[in-house]
Chain A
Amino acid sequence: MDRRHFLKAAMLGGAAASLVTKEASAQSQPIQTSARIVIIGAGAAGTALANRLVRRLEGAKITIIDPRPDHLYQPGLSLVATGLKPAKYVVSDTSAWLPGGITHVTEKVASVDAETKTVSTETGETIAYDWLVVAPGLMLDHDAIDGFSLDMVGENGIGALYAGPDYAARTWAAASRFTEEGGTGLFTRPETEMKCAGAPLKHTFLIDDIARRAGNAGKMNMVYAAPQSSLFGVPIVAEKVRMLFEDRGVSTMMNRTLTAIDASAKRATFANGTGTETVDYDYIHIIPPQRAPEFVVQSGLAWADKWTDQNWVECDMQTLRHLRYPEIFALGDVAGVPKGKTAASVKWQVPVVEDHLVAAIQGLEGTETYDGYTSCPLITRIGRAMLVEFDYHDNLTPSFPGIIAPLEELWISWLMKEVALKATYNAMLRGKA
């Protein structure tokens, strides 16, 4: 970045300062309240919301419950799993992001009693709330794949980048051998809703690119296997991915759900609707089924008639407010809405919940709505990506229409992912973006 750039920014500062002050003054008077607000989960959503609420409210008793000492910058896992970033790139201290003046309970939630408005932790502590935000993230159900366990990752051509930074690094150990030795690579995704549906595609594109750069394109048989019938939930994006796969020589196995692996024989079993079939592989990337944490369904917070095997929180699509318990909101991966399991969605969801929560405390109705905004810098090779943004209606919602084309492989989109995304994410965690 050149100093002229900063100079320009500094000069703009004078002009923009008045605007910022004006905007800030509208919200500068914190609301006086003694409300007890409990946030379950100190991930991207919980942390961002906590940082914003402490600025909006004065006197509120905010408690955030999360046992995990490490905060994970999950959008970086794809880069770790392809050797572009070290594992520590995605790890920071959970407590370092949390604001002062709130209580951080480092325990796991056992249950929520929405009638008596209490949360119980696994050690038996009971915390009463007036308002509850459920943002614990989701569970990776690795046991659902027969014959697979996490200790296998990194050996025998097995990768699983979703499992965390160390597993992502071990995924690269297995994947890099594959890019040198060649063979059949199976890139899978689960049948359930999942975090960042672009990640399995990115991993496929990146491994293909790395092998290509090493001059091993001829030795690779790249296969993308998915339980769905299309390559992406948004039809126009799916069609573009189909063209790119054709260009790169990636073949597809649609309507196939990975059910089991035989690690020693390097053989994967897929359910195909009518029966099962097996495929031999040299490298397999496993993304397990994903579900809400157990306490969600056990506490009666989940949808009764949707996603019954996944148990996402029953909430309004636009306001993320629980449909049966108005003092409860869902945020982030756990929310039972059709799209939005990405950090970019969280960035758009958090101000909506903040608005409705702060309004409700004052006895008012919030006005902000969430329309399913999801963003995915879909990396198509090292140095290029497509900045895909869309909403509930499968419409593309480009942030820079006419400038950054959503379905074009661009260097600027890669720069955004590589340089600006983590910075924006961190700013979001601090409640500033």
Chain B
Amino acid sequence: MKDLTFETLLAVFEEIFGRSLFWVMVAAAVIVTLGYLYVLVRDRAVSWKKFLWAQLSMPVGAVLAVWFVMFMTDSRLVDLGGPIDLVVFLGIAVMGAVGMAILVYTLESLFGSKRTKNASQK
């Protein structure tokens, strides 16, 4: 690989997903993150009630992320062949878990559920 610059990386990601889908995904990630930061600032504290659901959703996010990558790439778990494969595999799982937790926490803070609706006032 030659000249692996940030511009090259962007061009490659644009090609993988298509230019519009890629930037929609980037925008979605930015919006969810901004939403997360917003509720943190608004509530001035992490609500552990909301965080419970977020934590419980983490394994689901991890499994979904791994399943998605395996499915999209005709791969199976037995294809993991070296240390770097394990790093990539765990990385995907961790990213799925963390992403899911942030998403669930943000959604619950913004839209709330009966159980946590007034959590921020407590």
Q: Which residues of A contact B (CB under 8 A)?
A: 1-7, 9-10, 12-13, 16-17, 19-20, 23, 84, 347-348, 351, 373, 375, 381-384, 399-400, 403-405, 408-412, 414-415, 418-420, 422-424, 426-427, 430, 432-433
Contacts and interface: CB of A to CB of B under 8 A. Distances in A.
Nearest to A405: B82
30 contacts: A1-B16, A1-B69, A6-B29, A7-B29, A10-B26, A10-B29, A10-B30, A348-B2, A381-B79, A382-B74, A382-B79, A383-B79, A384-B79, A403-B84, A411-B82, A414-B73, A414-B79, A415-B75, A418-B75, A422-B15, A423-B13, A424-B8, A424-B12, A426-B15, A427-B8, A430-B11, A432-B8, A432-B11, A433-B3, A433-B12
Given A427-B12, A432-B8, A7 B81 contact: no
A319 to B, nearest CB: 17
Contact of A411 (B28, B65, B80, B102): B80
B47 to A, nearest CB: 21
B76 to A, nearest CB: 6
B85 A9 contact: no
B15 A4 contact: no
Interface of B, secondary structure class, is helix
B88 A412 contact: yes
B16 A411 contact: no
A414 B72 CA distance: 12
A415 B30 contact: no
Given A4-B98, A405-B82, A419-B72, 12 more contacts: A6-B13, A10-B30, A347-B2, A382-B75, A383-B74, A399-B1, A410-B84, A411-B81, A412-B88, A424-B1, A432-B7, A432-B11
Contacts of A4: 29, 95, 98-99, 102
Contacts of A432: 7-8, 11
B15 A408 contact: no
Interface residues on B, range: 35 or more
B30 A383 contact: no
Contacts of A400: 1
A405 B2 CA distance: 17
A51 to B, nearest CB: 12
A384 B82 CA distance: 11
A404 B84 CA distance: 7
B110 interface: no
Contacts of A1: 16-17, 25, 69
Contacts of A381: 79
Contacts of B13: 6, 9, 423
A384 B84 CA distance: 13
Interface string B1-34: 1110111111111111100001001101110110
Contacts of B88: 411-412, 415
Most B CB atoms within 10 A — which of A4, A10, A13, A408? A4
Contact of A84 (B11, B74, B76): B74
B92 interface: yes
Nearest to B98: A4
Contacts of B2: 347-348, 351, 373
A115 B56 CA distance: 76
B79 to A, nearest CB: 3
A19 B96 CA distance: 30
A19 B6 contact: yes
Contacts of B76: 383
A220 B70 CA distance: 28
A7 B33 contact: yes
Nearest to A2: B95
A433 B95 CA distance: 27
B7 A20 contact: yes
Nearest to A13: B6
Nearest to B32: A3
A9 B9 contact: yes
Contacts of A348: 2
A411 B85 contact: yes
A427 B29 contact: no
B3 A423 contact: no
A400 to B, nearest CB: 8
A23 B95 contact: no
B5 A23 contact: yes
A379 B68 CA distance: 21
A5 B15 contact: no
